Amino acid sequence: MAKLYLVPTPIGNLEDITFRAVNILKTSDFILAEDTRTSGNLLKHYEISTRVQSYHQYNEHAVLQSVVNKIRASETVSLITDAGTPGISDPGFLLVRECIKNDIKVECLPGATAFVPALVCSGFSCEKFIFEGFLPHKKGRNSRLEQIKGHSYTFILYESPFRLYKTLEQLKEYLGGERQAAVAREISKIHEEYQRGSLSDLCEIYKDKAIKGEIVIIVEGKKDNTSITENDKEEEDNNL
């Protein structure tokens, strides 16, 4: 039966893809790719000759229905993005939702995504965490920063190298310079890098540093420094 496959692709090292993912890409009727040139390198490397169609944030509304119609006509489609798992701060949500509305089976393969290795290597608690993705560039940015200021769990941000320093400075302003954080860059690539320390420390590190690659920022949750609650006090009094 025709279906939509969401296929994670490597975020750096081309070997970070499963055998199953390669096989599905080879046997799909066509592949939707965020950037056909970027994906072309991966497809060529694994000798995948499946026809490719462009699908990105600027055309997804326009081509959405035609893609759904093709799947309903018994064509199997694979969606890939430039790197990582489709739908995670990348195109994919609209197509998944429309397929579900049309009773089309959707299957997401397990695979690469940037925030998981960044989180695990940060040294912060992974028991509970909040994925914030990219902050708004302008409208709503300050209100979002105000919201995340109170997160008690580790939280994760994606950022571009061009806005990294600005974002670290704003996090420092809203959360305080002593809040601990980590910056992960070029995950799974030759120049993979982790910088850990306070937000003040990280601001100094990246103040005049020219960098490249995708960025993941991991920030430690707000520590609960509140005094003993009334309930705790009452319970303590009863035990005396």
What pLDDT, in 10s, does the model give residues 103-141? 999 999 999 999 999 999 999 999 999 999 999 988 899
Distances from the Cα of 17 to the Cα of 3, 8, 43, angstroms: 21, 7, 12
Give the angle 67-68-69 at the CA atoms, nearest 5°: 90
Same domain flag for 54 and 126: no
**What's the pLDDT score for residue 152?**
94
Task: Starting at the earlier edge strand, list the strands of the sheet with 4-6.
Answer: 52-54, 30-33, 77-80, 4-6, 106-108
The reported pTM is: 0.86
**What's the pLDDT score for residue 226?**
46
**What's the pLDDT score for residue 46?**
97
The residue among 74, 108, 142 that closes a domain is: 108
Domain membership of residue 152 as a residue range: 115-219
**What's the pLDDT score for residue 225?**
58
From 131, 89, 84, select the one nearest 112 (Cα to Cα).
Answer: 84
**What's the pLDDT score for residue 235?**
52
- The list of the chain residues with pLDDT below 70 reads 1, 225-240
d(CA 222, CA 239): 31
The residue among 108, 131, 155 that closes a domain is: 108
**What's the pLDDT score for residue 229?**
44
**What's the pLDDT score for residue 224?**
74
**What's the pLDDT score for residue 138?**
87
**Total number of domains constituting the chain:** 2
**What's the pLDDT score for residue 42?**
96
Same domain flag for 14 and 64: yes
CATH number of the domain bearing residue 172:
3.30.950.10
Burial class from Cβ neighbours inside 10 Å (0-12, 13-18, 19+) for residue 26 reads middle
Query: How does pLDDT run across 4-20, given as a tens digit for each residue?
Result: 999 999 999 999 999 99
